[in-house]
Amino acid sequence: MERVTVKVKKLDPRAQLPARGSDLAAGADLRACMDGDVTIGPGETVFIHTGIAAEIPPGYAGLVFARSGLASKSGLAPANKVGVVDSDYRGEFMVALHNHSREAVTVQPGQRVAQLVIVPVAVSDFVEVQELTETQRGSGGFGSTGK
């Protein structure tokens, strides 16, 4: 397992650094950092502060995913499904939590609200061409490879 050092700055003294739940966990938990409880109504999206900023090394990106327990038990998950944090971003990490449930859900200060996974990134150069290489699948889209 490759180890990458990510520098983290606390923007609020109450903020907590991302932390993995176990030695082999891919994601590090991001925690809410706010003055008090925040209630998210059914179908509502609220930006949750984490109180941290980070310096992700060049060649990497941070992906912000839902926490499976929070999503399956409370219906709270990032509104954008997966947030992408570029290596040149230095602002506060915020999580746009969406309530997919039919009931209001309250987020408390310090609660784990998402998980951050640091991944290598291949920077792509996009080149326009007249034709693409043929494949067996071709242009078959959603569901074209079977069940």
User: For the segment 27-54, what is each residue's pLDDT rounded down to a tens digit?
Assistant: 999 999 999 999 999 999 999 999 999 9
Per-residue pLDDT for 143 more than 80?
no
Mind listing the domains of the chain with CATH numbers?
A: 7-120 (2.70.40.10)
pLDDT of residue 15: 98
pLDDT of residue 83: 96
β-bridge mates for residue 62, sequence order: 85, 118
Q: Using the structure block, give the residue that is written with the tokens 């969406």.
A: 98
- Give the mean model confidence (pLDDT) for residues 92-117: 98
β-bridge mates for residue 115, sequence order: 29, 65
CB atoms within 10 A of CB 51: 21
* Size (the chain), residues: 147
CB atoms within 10 A of CB 72: 11
Token pair in block for residue 19:
């932390």
